[in-house]
Amino acid sequence: MRITSSDLISILDVKIGKEEKLIWNRIGENHCWILFPEDKEKDILISIRKEIENDFVTISCKTKHRLPINICLILLKEGLSIRCIGRKENGEDEVIFDSTVDDFCEFIKNLQNIADDLNFTLCLGNNPLRDYEKGPLFVRMRDVDCRSKLVGFLTNPERTFQVTLFDKSISLAHLLSRIDRTQYRLIVRETIPTSTGRKVTTIYDSFYEKVSSK
The pLDDT-based confidence of 213 (bands split at 50, 70, 90) is: very low
Tell me the percentage of the chain whose pLDDT exceeds 70: 95
Higher pLDDT, 213 or 174: 174
Q: How many CA atoms lie within 13 A of 18 on its CB side?
A: 4
Angle, vertex CA 179, rays to CA 178 and CA 182, nearest 5: 130
For 4, the 3-state DSSP assignment is coil
Close Cβ partners of 37 (under 8 Å, ≥ 6 residues apart): 21, 22, 23
Q: Which amino acid is at 121?
A: T
| Per-residue model confidence as pLDDT tens digits over 41-89 | 889 999 999 888 789 999 999 866 789 999 999 999 999 999 999 988 7
| Per-residue model confidence as pLDDT tens digits over 160-181 | 999 999 988 888 998 999 999 9
Residues 170, 43: Cα–Cα separation, whole Å: 37
Higher pLDDT, 89 or 144: 144
Tell me the percentage of the chain whose pLDDT exceeds 90: 67
Scored b (16 or more CB within 10 A) or e, 136-171 reads bbebbbbbeeeeebbbbbbeeeeebbbbbbeeeebe
Cβ(86)–Cβ(93) below 8 Å: yes
